[in-house]
Chains A and B, each alone.
Chain A
């Protein structure tokens, strides 16, 4: 009698466990793999915002709220310096992180400042206040003699008339082109008219100094191998 009960109980356990896991499986909604654009690892960042490229293409320009190069460079000590934070930051305690990324990861219009939030090219770096400092005053401690070199001009660094311009700025931490060259927060003069051609560096190459000088190649064995 007991053995039958035990058997029944074991049967019940097996059945229960089976249906429990079965139930779990049903509750599981399989996530379909997002089809990624095939990429070259070292160029990965170029494509980071590629999924928005078509939106950028079809987006009408909001001329009234576009940034200009002048305001863009006003906010930097020199071309390539991390911009300071031009607006008050409510959250004082903390390193920035999600508080900053709320607006600066994907951008969008901010009523309060009547402007589009610029998109960061490096959202993975979350200690924002490490490099970007909120300005509290416009006064100086003492005057500075620092020479702020004029920023590279736009649109004239082509090799041939009409050929794609080379990239006149450092790429370090700015590898993602679309974050600054497309979208409503992009600077008027830097707006690219073909954001859908997401493989930017196919045609636009960095200027020299970015690359190390390599000796001219000389074949020593005269092709006998």
Chain B
């Protein structure tokens, strides 16, 4: 108040008024003064200890506070300090801790002997795993052993897995289930920008005027972010446009819902580009300064046959070529392919085209689990690049993730066959850097990628792979065309190790089951969709002999003779691993925040430079890695320019015909996460969504005389499955389409899905195959 001396009298009076109001306010809260006295005599149950952790489930990466008492997790609340969720969670997050306490939790290692599982000690089980791996390498070569991990791996889990397999053993047989959900997002980013992961961040939500959701049921799959959208609509009247193949909760909440035929998003996306260019909405200076045009190969196939190979041949084109190409995608022509009205295509285009509107695109599994997924990702970037609506607050093409560390562990640590923590195995410099940090001879790292996920399971079936270690994932529920891969895994002469916390269909095929410590029973980090790395400490003890996946890998590595590389001390191994991992990413383009920072706050976003998270990459105002002196610098590409790709529409691998006249799409529900192995053990969630179902269009249901609850037989070329019908319930598919959630291990929809994949990303298309339905 002393500083107000030199201000004028009126100001002074104002300030005095404020001050007296504040004094009065303070007087209203005597509790502050008596806090200590208040606390005395309070029952013991107020002594909850709250600690922060990123949520165990999806890729949004909410920060939750977990209340523990007497060594047990007993309550959850949203972390109000988190810039991600700002104190809010979803039903899964609020009940996440119950996933620790299912009665059938695995607590002891189990080894299969004469067809039966026998309990053993952790030491013996790990000895067996190490010796089996060594013997397989001796008998069948290093490429006969493999590890299949997950986007639920913590960063240290994935890092030591990669170091052991790629650096020490010398095989690129490292894959993760993120291949089934995020591989397309990666190839999308790499082809368009040369660097993975979104340029923007969640804060874009607070600035954007229009949100376009591309085949993305956000209300159920990313509910906390969707609530941020709804909040903005209440405060600022933003527009939410749902562009999807099925009417969902998101469509109902959106301002506008536009339905398109499966696979035709490619045509509509191109039509939007056509409209932008032909209406003069293109941001010419941005495109001239910051964009190149390219085209790749077309008619790539669908990867249905074993040993399918594809390498794109990019070719530079000019703007006129691209413009001519778009002539095939006038709104009228795209409307014929997509079933979307010309008016709606123009409506969408106008939102992108309006120079005064900030547009944020969201997508997740729709454009990713897509047999032309990389193309669809490219097309969304094309739209944002043509209008210059990118890398600035509110203008943001944002690719969402489904797993808590799909970005952190799979994409950043690089637990994919072609990847290294920094760069790819094909690149000599990248191999040299990794070998140096890993303390292994550079020759150890094989310059040739081996198998992507689908091909890895095919190799297991064929016998090229003999040993597979599966951690934190459930491929015997999630692999498409499941039967082939389950039968293959069960063949003689295969050895499968599964690390998990509960029995699943995947532990059913295991020779050794290792009990894992999950989430807050150990220490670790996750990386979410907005490049945010978050740390969590151990809060409770794991049950029985359960051990973290990191520790399991370290123990096996040491048994295999790699003590030198795996030198970490038991008490500090997570910190040591993270510090070593950070070395791979040094530099302004990808620097990771030090551990102290992650411990002190709700995570930090890389590139973390000079003590600051980078919110908008490639934008000189926010990103210190920009060096070209212009407003934007897409430094992932050599010439600093992003690529606008000429990508046509091509049909799906299997489309409905006379014999199988319906489309089958699969997906998720808000209550369950992934394969339900955790969420189904949470009573509230199981009771809300006890089993899978098949959603029918009411018109189709009426014709077939099917009502909700009736059993329906679905038949595809891969087999058949019977499920209860759901008509006019959670969501409504378009006519001649059905939808089935995949979480239910008792009703495995993946028995009948197709294993076609995007030839560039090798990610399967779970959203499209042909099916016949009849009343069972």
Contact B87 A159 (CB under 8 A): no
Chain A, 116-159, contact with B by CB distance < 8 Å: what is the 0/1 string? Answer: 00000000111101111111111111111111111011001111
Contact B46 A207 (CB under 8 A): yes
> Which residue of B is nearest A138, CB measured?
B687
- Docked pose: A127 CA to B225 CA in angstroms: 11
| Residue B39 is within 8 A (CB to CB) of chain A in the complex | yes
Interface residues of A in 39-58 (CB under 8 A from B): 40
| Residue B755 is within 8 A (CB to CB) of chain A in the complex | no
Residues of A within 8 A of B553 (CB): none
Interface residues of A in 93-119 (CB under 8 A from B): 93-95, 97
Interface residues of A in 165-198 (CB under 8 A from B): 166, 168, 170, 172-173
Contact A93 B247 (CB under 8 A): yes
Interface residues of B in 24-79 (CB under 8 A from A): 25, 28-32, 34-35, 37-43, 45-46, 48, 50, 69, 72, 74-78
Least Cβ distance of A87 to chain B in Å?
13
| Residue A73 is within 8 A (CB to CB) of chain B in the complex | no
Contact A139 B46 (CB under 8 A): no
Residues of A within 8 A of B100 (CB): 146
Residues of A within 8 A of B690 (CB): 136-137, 139, 141
Contact A40 B25 (CB under 8 A): yes
Chain A, 56-98, contact with B by CB distance < 8 Å: what is the 0/1 string? Answer: 0000000000000000000001111110100000001111010
| Residue B124 is within 8 A (CB to CB) of chain A in the complex | no
> Which residue of B is nearest A205, CB measured?
B31
| Residue A202 is within 8 A (CB to CB) of chain B in the complex | yes
Contact B688 A134 (CB under 8 A): yes
Contact of A77 among B31, B231, B681, B683 (CB under 8 A): B683
Contact of A142 among B37, B89, B103 (CB under 8 A): B103
Residues of B within 8 A of A152 (CB): 43, 45-46
Contact of B731 among A93, A139, A166 (CB under 8 A): A93
Interface residues of B in 228-249 (CB under 8 A from A): 230-231, 234, 247-249
| Residue A208 is within 8 A (CB to CB) of chain B in the complex | yes
Given contacts A142-B103, A201-B29, A207-B46, contact A135 B687 (CB under 8 A): yes
- Docked pose: A157 CA to B29 CA in angstroms: 18
Contact A82 B50 (CB under 8 A): no
Residues of A within 8 A of B226 (CB): 127, 130
> Which residue of B is nearest A82, CB measured?
B94
Contact A125 B253 (CB under 8 A): no
Contact A144 B87 (CB under 8 A): no
Residues of A within 8 A of B31 (CB): 166, 201, 203-205
Q: Number of B residues contacting the other chain (C-beta, 8 Å)?
A: 73
Least Cβ distance of B576 to chain A in Å?
30
Residues of B within 8 A of A3 (CB): none
| Residue B16 is within 8 A (CB to CB) of chain A in the complex | no
Contact of A81 among B38, B75, B90, B227 (CB under 8 A): B75
- Docked pose: A208 CA to B248 CA in angstroms: 42
| Residue A222 is within 8 A (CB to CB) of chain B in the complex | no
Contact A127 B219 (CB under 8 A): yes
Q: Which of B30, B95, B234 has the most CB of A within 10 A?
A: B95
Contact of B224 among A94, A130, A138 (CB under 8 A): A130
Given contacts A78-B75, A142-B681, contact A149 B69 (CB under 8 A): yes
| Residue A209 is within 8 A (CB to CB) of chain B in the complex | yes
Contact A208 B43 (CB under 8 A): no
Chain B, 657-684, contact with A by CB distance < 8 Å: what is the 0/1 string? Answer: 0000000000000110000000011111
| Residue B685 is within 8 A (CB to CB) of chain A in the complex | yes
Contact A159 B40 (CB under 8 A): yes
> Which residue of B is nearest A84, CB measured?
B684
Contact B74 A84 (CB under 8 A): no
Contact B97 A157 (CB under 8 A): no
| Residue B91 is within 8 A (CB to CB) of chain A in the complex | yes
Contact B249 A209 (CB under 8 A): no
Residues of A within 8 A of B75 (CB): 78-81, 149
> Which residue of B is nearest A42, CB measured?
B25
Contact A141 B680 (CB under 8 A): yes
Contact B249 A95 (CB under 8 A): yes
Least Cβ distance of A79 to chain B in Å?
7
| Residue B318 is within 8 A (CB to CB) of chain A in the complex | no
- Docked pose: A132 CA to B685 CA in angstroms: 10
> Which residue of A is nearest B687, CB measured?
A135
> Which residue of A is nearest B98, CB measured?
A146
Least Cβ distance of B341 to chain A in Å?
22
| Residue B325 is within 8 A (CB to CB) of chain A in the complex | no
Residues of B within 8 A of A156 (CB): 43
Chain B, 117-136, contact with A by CB distance < 8 Å: what is the 0/1 string? Answer: 00000000000000000000
Q: Which of A130, A156, A211 has the most CB of B within 10 A?
A: A130
> Which residue of A is nearest B732, CB measured?
A93
Contact of A159 among B34, B88, B90, B102 (CB under 8 A): B34
Contact of A144 among B50, B89, B681 (CB under 8 A): B681
| Residue B689 is within 8 A (CB to CB) of chain A in the complex | yes
Contact of A127 among B102, B253, B681 (CB under 8 A): B253
| Residue B559 is within 8 A (CB to CB) of chain A in the complex | no
Residues of B within 8 A of A157 (CB): 41-43, 46
- Docked pose: A225 CA to B62 CA in angstroms: 45
Least Cβ distance of A76 to chain B in Å?
9
Residues of A within 8 A of B46 (CB): 152, 157, 168, 207-209
| Residue B8 is within 8 A (CB to CB) of chain A in the complex | no
Contact of B230 among A78, A126, A148, A170 (CB under 8 A): A126
- Docked pose: A172 CA to B67 CA in angstroms: 14
| Residue B252 is within 8 A (CB to CB) of chain A in the complex | yes
- Docked pose: A40 CA to B102 CA in angstroms: 45
Residues of B within 8 A of A97 (CB): 253
- Docked pose: A191 CA to B98 CA in angstroms: 30
Given contacts A82-B91, A159-B38, A205-B38, contact A139 B687 (CB under 8 A): yes
Contact A172 B80 (CB under 8 A): yes
Least Cβ distance of B768 to chain A in Å?
23
Q: Which of A82, A133, A207 has the most CB of B within 10 A?
A: A133
Residues of B within 8 A of A143 (CB): 102-104
Least Cβ distance of A49 to chain B in Å?
19
- Docked pose: A139 CA to B38 CA in angstroms: 43
Contact of A147 among B43, B50, B72, B728 (CB under 8 A): B72
4 nearest A-B pairs in the assembled complex, by CB-CB distance: A205-B31, A133-B688, A130-B223, A94-B252
List 23 A-B pairs, Cβ < 8 Å. A77-B95, A78-B75, A81-B76, A126-B230, A133-B91, A133-B685, A136-B688, A137-B687, A143-B102, A144-B98, A144-B102, A145-B101, A149-B69, A150-B45, A157-B42, A159-B40, A166-B31, A168-B43, A170-B77, A202-B30, A203-B30, A205-B35, A207-B46
Tell me the A residues contacting B by CB distance below 8 Å.
40, 77-82, 84, 92-95, 97, 124-127, 129-150, 152-153, 156-160, 166, 168, 170, 172-173, 199, 201-205, 207-209, 211
Apart from A139-B690, A208-B39: 5 A-B pairs, beta carbons within 8 A: A77-B682, A82-B94, A138-B687, A142-B681, A202-B28
